[in-house]
Amino acid sequence: MTSTDSAQQPTGTPAKDPWDLPDVSGLVVGVLGGTGPQGKGLAYRLARAGQKVIIGSRAAERARAAADELGHGVEGFDNAETARRSDVVIVAVPWDGHGKTLEALRADLAGKLVVDCVNPLGFDKKGAYALRPEEGSAAEQAAALLPDSRVAAAFHHLSAVLLQDPEIAEIDTDVMVLGEERADVETVQALAGRIPGMRGIFAGRLRNAHQVESLVANLISVNRRYKAHAGLRLTDV
């Protein structure tokens, strides 16, 4: 080794391997909006991978009916009970009910890791287009409404059709994960990685969530033109 090589070697504690992710198999995952297409699909995939999953709805009976349909040990409760019983809570409610739902659950979600996957979109005769919430993004709105929770953002670009199709063994896509705390981001990455074919990849802090949420409008255009269910793959990672 030359002196130049030696000078370039890092000193101190080696950098953490970004793929060294925690074991999340024992966490209970709740899905708010678990009776809708996206929430139901995520619940199905996680439960099928062996995760304990609870789905929530405004009406407990709807949640129980959807849980029975999904099988794999999924349980259904109203949104508040789902929040209380879960370690990690995925928010998959419609955008127009996002703020009111989270505001009503502020106490139930205190101390929880909340993963927002809501995409603020509008639709007109030209197709889908991104909306920009006052807070900057749906995830930042969640963080503002839930000061006692830890908020991350992920699972935005997944096809509900593919998620719910039992004939599809693997979901060929990457999941961009955003958040403020490394431990929380890695937990969400690990949850994404529980689903065969899927990877969770750190993509920045919550201030960068708007463009991730907005990209769904582009994917909708892709899907309509090519009659597809497009996802994302990040290269060289």
pLDDT at 15: 84
pLDDT at 9: 44
Query: Once rounded to an integer, what is the mean pLDDT over residues 145-170?
Result: 97
pLDDT at 11: 57
d(CA 173, CA 16): 24
Q: Which amino acid is at 13?
A: T
pLDDT at 8: 44
User: What average pLDDT does the chain have?
Assistant: 94
Query: Once rounded to an integer, what is the mean pLDDT over residues 113-142?
Result: 97
Residue 16 per-residue DSSP state: P
User: Token digits for 101?
Assistant: 């739902």
Note the pTM of the prediction, 2 decimals: 0.92
Query: Once rounded to an integer, what is the mean pLDDT over residues 20-47?
Result: 96
Closest CA to 142 of 86, 97, 204: 97
Query: Once rounded to an integer, what is the mean pLDDT over residues 197-202?
Result: 98
pLDDT at 106: 98
pLDDT at 105: 98
Percent of the chain at pLDDT > 90 equals: 93
Q: Are 113 and 87 in contact (CB under 8 A)?
A: yes
pLDDT at 1: 46
Q: pLDDT tens across 84-102, in order?
A: 999 999 999 999 999 999 9
Strand pairing class (121-124; 113-116): unpaired
Q: pLDDT tens across 109-120, in order?
A: 999 999 999 999
User: Token digits for 23?
Assistant: 């074991």
Q: Are 118 and 192 in contact (CB under 8 A)?
A: no
- By CB atoms closer than 10 A (0-12, 13-18, 19+), residue 114 is buried
Query: Once rounded to an integer, what is the mean pLDDT over residues 39-58?
Result: 97
- Neighbour count for residue 187 (Cβ, 10 Å): 25
Q: Which amino acid is at 69?
A: E
Strand pairing class (127-130; 150-153): unpaired
Residue 156 per-residue DSSP state: -
Query: Once rounded to an integer, what is the mean pLDDT over residues 202-206?
Result: 98
Q: pLDDT tens across 2-21, in order?
A: 444 444 444 566 788 999 99
Q: pLDDT tens across 161-187, in order?
A: 999 999 999 999 999 999 999 999 999
Query: Once rounded to an integer, what is the mean pLDDT over residues 207-229?
Result: 97
- Neighbour count for residue 53 (Cβ, 10 Å): 28
